[in-house]
A = this chain, B = another copy of it.
């Protein structure tokens, strides 16, 4: 069993029926977006469907006390200058950023950094799959939104947020289940592999 950092406690596989039944999604309501994705990634790795991992948070270590092993005494969180997740699926390089908003009618763009946009442009340039997972907490909905759409929106608009209805129209809602909490690879199949689920 793969036990990647950031993963959550594993539960035994309970068979296809339970895994796909969405009424279990109530169990996931308390789980935040990051935990949902981490749990889904652990699950996808277990069933050998994909290998996608969260990048560790970069931390700038200033002072280390070596008197008892290596104890970090002073350090600072750095902003991730790329995206949160990357990996491989069906031979393709996958790269995405997950963002959540508590706003009801729009997704604010100010928490996407220019570094992240530059990084995702690079991914697209090299032939990878690049997207955002955008969650509207109020609606309890998460969407896969192609990175190129976000890049084009930023270039074309002076707006500082994307209306919820634009996300609904241009993104694809990600189904939820018990395990994986977010069936986001089904959305990837539909958007990037032209496969209807």
Q: Which residues of B contact A115 (CB under 8 A)?
A: 2
Establish whether residues B77 and A74, one from each chain, have CB atoms under 8 Å apart when the complex forms: no
Interface residue? A93 (CB, 8 A)? yes
A-B contact pairs, 9 of them (CB 8 A): A2-B119, A4-B82, A5-B58, A5-B78, A56-B59, A69-B76, A72-B76, A91-B127, A91-B128
Asked whether A53 and B73 contact (CB < 8 A) given A89-B126, A91-B127, the answer is no
Q: Which residues of B contact A88 (CB under 8 A)?
A: 93, 95, 123, 126-128
* Cα A175 to Cα B53 with chains together (Å): 31
Q: List residues 105-132 of chain A with CB under 8 A from any CB of chain B.
A: 115, 118-119, 122-123, 125-128
Copies of this protein chain in the complex: 2
Establish whether residues B72 and A74, one from each chain, have CB atoms under 8 Å apart when the complex forms: yes
Interface residue? A138 (CB, 8 A)? no
Asked whether A72 and B71 contact (CB < 8 A) given A59-B56, A126-B90, the answer is no
* Cα A3 to Cα B118 with chains together (Å): 11
* Cα A48 to Cα B3 with chains together (Å): 34
Asked whether A58 and B58 contact (CB < 8 A) given A72-B77, A81-B3, A126-B88, the answer is no
A90–chain B nearest beta-carbon distance, Å = 7
